[in-house]
Structure 1
Amino acid sequence: MTTSFENPSSFEGLCDKDRDVWCLDNKQLFTTDWVEEEGDSYPVSPQLELEEAMMLSELKKDSELLVNASPCIAEHPKVPCPAEDTSIRQGAAGCWRKLYCVNGHAFQAKRFSRRAHCAVCTDRVGGLGRQVYKCTRCKLSVHKKCHRLVTVHCGQRSLPSEPMVPVDLSTMTSGPAQTAIPHNLSGQEALEQVDGENEAGNTGKSGKIARGLGLQDFDLLSVIGRGSYGKVLLVQLKQSDRMYAMKTVKKELVNTDRVRTEKHVLQQASDCPFLVGLHSCFQTESRLFFVLDYVDGGDLMFHLQQQRTLAEEHARFYSAEISLAFNYLHQRGILYRNLKLDNLLLDSEGHIKLCDYCICKEGLEPGDTTSTFCGTPNYLAPEIIRGEEYGFGVDWWTLGVVMYEMMVGKSPFHLAESCGNRYKNSIDYLLQAILERDIFIPRCLSIKAVSVLKRFLNRDPAERLGCRPHRGFFDVQKHPFFRSVNWEMMERKQVVPPFKPNMSGGFGLDNFDSQFTDEPVRLTPDDDDIVRKTDECEFAGFEYINPLSMYEEE
């Protein structure tokens, strides 16, 4: 939790402020540390140390002074307090969410756009890369820069213009002192509100977590995939013999924001039958590990390469399940942005599961937009290429591309006819083709199939199928191509899939490309220089175990 108040003139004044914020009685002992920009903490106890911290802060022209507080006394100035929890460090992938407390408000940072205005300066809040602070109690929304200027208590409607003089007090507590942070919540509720997710515990450099999992708890059986981030392994949990897919991510290659988003989406995906869910997370000195549902039927790219094209009935089944997955994500404000044949997995019965949430965007509501340029070139929607703001419509465009590939056997922007021209073989030409080239649709397709492809591949997102706010999925369901689909049965996975993967091989490995499964099952040795340069605080709080998975394994 953080709060703001006027510069204390004395150490005793700072202590009084601390006691007021956490509702501590006069007998409660606590330690206050000043945290400098590199993350190192220094005790603030006598008046001289407080004045030194304030002086250095002013010399550096810092707008705020960051302070940690723990509800106990350290044995030695260089030793952390027994109750201190390092997971509050900023930048941690999946770390606790801070509450910024000002005059009864409990502001929480939100990283998404809102069609609202700041209650202090009246400018619009949100936008790409801009944080919005929203009170978890009264739902007041303000800019990050304005939250310290809120002088009216939580629940009042008008906001005076007189700003407060901010001194940022970032605190981290556990035990009895934490129960007093949100004044109207119990200790457990407060912990859940600050945490925002069910963490399994904290980690040291070994990657083993309290009551949790580590690499030593799994048998590594085979490589089943690879990307720029690392490998995907088929593993077996020793204590239960259950099979999982383990995604390894090298810390030196990782974007912590993307890791945080991927983990959060994976946690929500566990409740959807058409999305790959999360079993657990843990880490070592050099890597992050996601333990995921193992989907043993292989990906749709592998099967399409063997069959060349799919019948319309098959494409209808798969695209209906993909649409249900999209609807689940969109209802929760998640933009997927990564649909392609490689990310469409088949389970042992033949049902679809989407995977790989590393470029998802969270926090979007119907009508909200974002503008990050990301995705696979062949599947980029025209509005992304044009550099325009875009919303959920880009997912429906990618579904159109995938449906075309399933029924026609190649990309709608296939460049084979461009061989011999270096420019036309470039990414630039591909993007230009997506923007301008007419899409060829074979005559062998039915009228309904032609219609749905044209609707999904409409370059105008306002006219594209699925793009009407609040009614997009309804429009998809009512399109003639999907008229024969029983959506309720489809959602309950009661419709028999048109194709069942071959499961005769051990663990379903025959459904994965041999270029992966023939690789030796090992992790590359750690580079000691890179490990030494890794800031472990960036990944504190990453560990997680899905409670449902624990229940199923008992």
Structure 2
Amino acid sequence: MEYLSRGDLLDIMLTNGPFPISATRFLAAELICGLQFLHSRGIIHRDIKPDNILLDSTGHLKIADFGLAVMNIFGDTNISGWAGTRLYMAPEILQNKPYNTAVDWFSAGLVIYVMATGKHPFYRGKIGRALKAIINDDPVFPNEMDPQLKAIINGLLDKSAESRQKFVENIRDHPFFMEINWTDIEEATACPSFQLTPPPVMMTSDTMKDVLCFTEANNTPIAETGQNLFCGFTFANEGWKVIESIPKPIISNRRPVKPHRRTFGTIVKDAFHRIWRRIKPWK
């Protein structure tokens, strides 16, 4: 995977605090494009959260960590199973109900709310209460929040998965995204009109050298004999070598040495020496 120098969204939020509305709008639009791309190919991510959203050096968003994703889910197909991060789960997952791509949209609504406010809409110090609030309560919005942004978040955090899906069908036409050129967003040619300070990163010179080495797309390809190991990757550094198999341990013909068996005599002898070492300094 390419090196994304700005790190994950969680660390960026901790460094910058709540995002300005321009940054929230831009990143929300890129997140929407990313999810629509995945869902059009039958992929449900199931773990959308700030930790799994990364930013590159120019401020473009990339969805990462597909360890919990499921594939080939199209149309009205539903699946089941507890998966995700509890504070970013949709109500239907928390209630162990069948679900579809709508769970990603609920998580996206939570992420957008956190970007705009720096707080989770349902968390008040205890996870148990937060999970009940996700299922039963409506989010509380700051008075100063932009009404159009509030409408976007409300639509994504709808408790009904069906209503959530209907809302997303026309989300690109929402007034909140009036300034967004969706073609530029999809092609990553839109320039962010904001500057977010990346989190501090401590790297040694050797680490930076490795990082730069792994991200140079113009390096010589690896040998043909190793190509099959990296089938499907857009880039593989020739410095990555095949890991040699671990040699088998040498089996010796010698019999293992049995541990010394303690007898009554050795026990008495050891006890005498312990007592003698204690009384000897008194002389």
Regarding TM over 0.5, the answer is yes
Give the % identical residues: 29
Q: Superposed, which structure 2 residues align to 1:532-551 within 5 Å?
A: 543-546=229-232, 548-549=234-235
1:496 is matched with which residue: 191, 207, 225?
191
The 1:328/1:385 distance shift into structure 2, 3 A limit, reads same
Separation of aligned partners in 2, 1:513 and 1:436: 40
Match of 1:511 in 2: 199
Does residue 342 of the first structure (1) align with residue 51 of the second (2)? yes
Equivalent residue letter for 2:155: R
The 1:551/1:431 distance shift into structure 2, 3 A limit, reads closer
> How many residues end up aligned between the 2 structures?
218
In the superposition, the TM-score normalised over structure 2's length comes to 0.70
Separation of aligned partners in 2, 1:440 and 1:495: 32
Does residue 486 of the first structure (1) align with residue 172 of the second (2)? no
Separation of aligned partners in 2, 1:551 and 1:358: 24
Match of 1:413 in 2: 122
In the superposition, the TM-score normalised over structure 1's length comes to 0.37
Equivalent residue letter for 2:170: D
Separation of aligned partners in 2, 1:307 and 1:355: 21
The 1:546/1:454 distance shift into structure 2, 3 A limit, reads same
Separation of aligned partners in 1, 2:131 and 2:105: 18
2:27 is matched with which residue: 289, 294, 318?
318
Match of 1:281 in 2: none
Check conservation: 1:349, 1:501, Cα contact below 8 A.
no
1:434 is matched with which residue: 104, 116, 134?
134
Q: Secondary structure at the match of 2:54?
A: strand
Check conservation: 2:230, 2:236, Cα contact below 8 A.
no
The 1:310/1:390 distance shift into structure 2, 3 A limit, reads same
CA drift of 1:440 comes to: 0.7
Equivalent residue letter for 1:358: G
Match of 2:148 in 1: 448
Q: Superposed, which structure 2 residues align to 1:464-483 within 5 Å?
A: 464=164, 467-468=165-166, 474-483=169-178
Check conservation: 1:501, 1:511, Cα contact below 8 A.
no
Q: Secondary structure at the match of 1:353?
A: strand
Separation of aligned partners in 2, 1:479 and 1:552: 47
1:373 is matched with which residue: 54, 59, 82?
82
CA drift of 1:361 comes to: 0.7
Structure 2: gaps (5+ residues): 208-227, 240-283
Separation of aligned partners in 2, 1:414 and 1:306: 20
Separation of aligned partners in 2, 1:299 and 1:448: 26
Match of 2:257 in 1: none
Which protein shows a greater Rg?
2
Q: Superposed, which structure 2 residues align to 1:74-223 within 5 Å?
A: none
Check conservation: 1:348, 1:500, Cα contact below 8 A.
no
Q: Secondary structure at the match of 2:149?
A: helix
Greater RCO structure (CA 8 Å; 6+ sep): 2
Match of 2:261 in 1: none
**Comparing both structures, which one devotes a greater share of its residues to helix?**
2
Match of 2:279 in 1: none
The 1:492/1:387 distance shift into structure 2, 3 A limit, reads same
Check conservation: 1:296, 1:511, Cα contact below 8 A.
no
Check conservation: 2:80, 2:97, Cα contact below 8 A.
yes
2:6 is matched with which residue: 258, 279, 297?
297
After superposition, the CA RMSD in angstroms is 2.6
Check conservation: 1:338, 1:376, Cα contact below 8 A.
yes
The 1:305/1:447 distance shift into structure 2, 3 A limit, reads same
Separation of aligned partners in 1, 2:12 and 2:233: 34
Q: Secondary structure at the match of 1:489?
A: helix
